[in-house]
């Protein structure tokens, strides 16, 4: 069990039979009253975000989320087939869990599958991925004085803004949290 006063961003709790992830929290001391904890919670199954206020002594069961290291093998219709890197078991994961992740992964990439009570509840990407530039406009000599950028389409279909010196065929490191270009990889 965890007290509402101990909630932190990223903590997952069970409430009314649902799993909730704490997006943000704030301890507020009311004048002459007791303190309260204001939170923004995201329902893990539906994705709905809600704001709730709790007394610091309220208690919730902490949800134990298992993180399994997997390798993405291939897409099969409505499912992404992954392989557990420890046991080598292969199993399909519904595409609903890959909403944002699909833009960053390609075959044989590693990622994490999040499970609760043996059921898949989501996927988590590594912080950075390396992707190849499939198409971008050429940069012209002299265009770098302003530090400008141009759009580049990567091999997964993701479009990111890149510096003018990046060309088709270059390998780039991209931040999966923000979707932004980090650096060119040799």
- The pLDDT tens digits for 126-175 are 899 999 999 988 876 655 556 678 899 998 889 999 988 888 899 999 99
Q: Are residues 23 and 37 in the same domain?
A: yes
Rounded to whole angstroms, how far apart are CA atoms 26 and 16?
22
The verdict on pTM exceeding 0.85 is: no
Q: What is the pLDDT of residue 154?
A: 92
Residues 119 and 134 placed together within one structural domain of the fold: no
Q: Between vectors from CA 108 to CA 102 and to CA 113, what angle results, nearest 5°? A: 55
Check whether residue 102 and residue 136 sit in a common domain.
no
Q: What is the total count of domains within the chain?
A: 3
pLDDT digits (tens, 9 = 90+) for 104-116: 988 888 999 988 8
| Residue 138 neighbours by CB under 8 Å, 6+ apart | 167
At 58-75, the pLDDT tens digits run 898 888 888 899 999 998
Q: Is 80 exposed, middle or buried (0-12, 13-18, 19+ CB in 10 A)?
A: buried
Domain with 117, as residue range(s), is 66-124
Q: What separation in angstroms does the CA of 181 have from each of 67, 120, 135, 176?
A: 27, 30, 15, 10
Cα atoms in the 13 Å half-sphere on the side-chain side of 108: 2
What is the predicted pLDDT for the residue at 73? Answer: 92
**pLDDT score recorded for residue 98:** 79
For 24-39, what is the mean pLDDT? Answer: 85
Same domain, 119 and 156: no
124, 144, 167: which is the final residue of a domain? 124
| Six token digits for residue 121 | 């509840």
Q: Where among 60, 83, 102 does a domain terminate?
A: 60
- Is the pLDDT assigned to residue 123 strictly greater than 80? yes
CATH number at residue 156: 2.40.50.140
């Amino acid at each position: 069990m965890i007290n509402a006063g101990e909630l932190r961003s990223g903590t997952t709790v069970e409430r009314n039979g649902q799993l909730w992830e704490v997006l943000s929290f704030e301890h507020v001391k009311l004048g002459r009253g007791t303190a309260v904890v204001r939170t923004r919670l995201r329902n893990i199954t539906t994705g709905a975000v809600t704001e709730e206020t709790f007394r610091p002594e309220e208690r919730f069961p902490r949800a134990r989320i298992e993180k399994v290291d997997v390798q993405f093998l291939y897409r099969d219709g409505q499912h992404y087939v992954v392989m557990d890197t420890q046991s080598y078991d292969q199993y399909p994961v519904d595409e609903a869990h890959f909403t944002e992740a699909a833009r960053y992964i390609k075959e044989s990439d590693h990622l994490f599958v999040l499970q609760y009570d043996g059921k898949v509840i989501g996927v988590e990407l590594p912080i950075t991925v390396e992707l190849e530039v499939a198409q971008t406009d050429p940069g012209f000599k002299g265009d770098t004085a302003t530090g400008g950028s141009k759009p580049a389409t990567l091999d997964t279909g993701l479009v990111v803004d890149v510096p003018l010196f990046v060309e088709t065929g270059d390998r780039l490191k991209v931040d999966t949290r923000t979707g932004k270009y980090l650096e060119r990889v040799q």
